A = this chain, B = another copy of it.
Amino acid sequence: MIKYPNGASFNKELKTEKRKSKKDKLEVSLSAANRGMDFEKDINISNEYYRDKGIALIYKRPTPINVVKVDYSRGALITNAYFEEQSTTDYNGVYKGRYIDFEAKNTKSKTSFPLANITKHQIAHLKAVLLQKGIAFFVINFEKYDEAYLLDAQYVIDFYEHGERKSIPYEVFKEKGILIKKGYNPRLYYIDAVDEMYFN
């Protein structure tokens, strides 16, 4: 039995959840997926802004695809392929000559960022980036607070490898991370946070 600081309200939420119909649940999870997608979109739009202004050059890595079959009679049409697991992070690029590498995730949790969707390949990749003295971090959006934080990858690696539970408490982001200013364009002023963390 896990103790929650706000056990009572957690149980209340759970009961409310149980009353919901299957259709409602589906809508809830789709909407959560959308918020995750929206956050990714915000990062992509911010990257476009930074690229257009000549401030930073950051790209999203494409999801790796294993191509099994190509129909050359139809102009190299791929007819059989499947998505592969991303073994690196989602974003990399260059800012002020330095190599930048990061992963961006949205979470619905109010209390912590769960490490379940970070793979051991990604952890190995981030360690390799740090070994090469690259700049590596996470951008985590706590959607319930509408707060996004930049947290250096070393914290994530430490929690992943030595943490008692497979999540990073919200407080760690507040204490060790940098709150990213949000706006209209760029949506996320995350390069300001990079400046504050790595160039000051």
Which residues does chain B contribute within 8 Å of A56, judged by CB atoms? 132
Given contacts A62-B65, A77-B80, whether A51 and B94 have CB atoms under 8 Å apart is no
Query: How many residues does chain A have at the interface if contact means C-beta atoms less than 8 Å apart?
Result: 36
Tell me the bound Cα distance from A100 to B133 in angstroms: 13
CB pair A79 B82 closer than 8 Å: no
A123 CB to closest chain B CB (Å) equals 14
CB pair B92 A82 closer than 8 Å: no
Q: Can you report 16 A-B residue pairs in the complex whose CB atoms are below 8 A from each other?
A: A51-B128, A56-B132, A57-B129, A61-B62, A62-B62, A75-B82, A76-B82, A77-B80, A77-B81, A79-B79, A92-B92, A94-B133, A97-B98, A97-B132, A97-B133, A99-B99
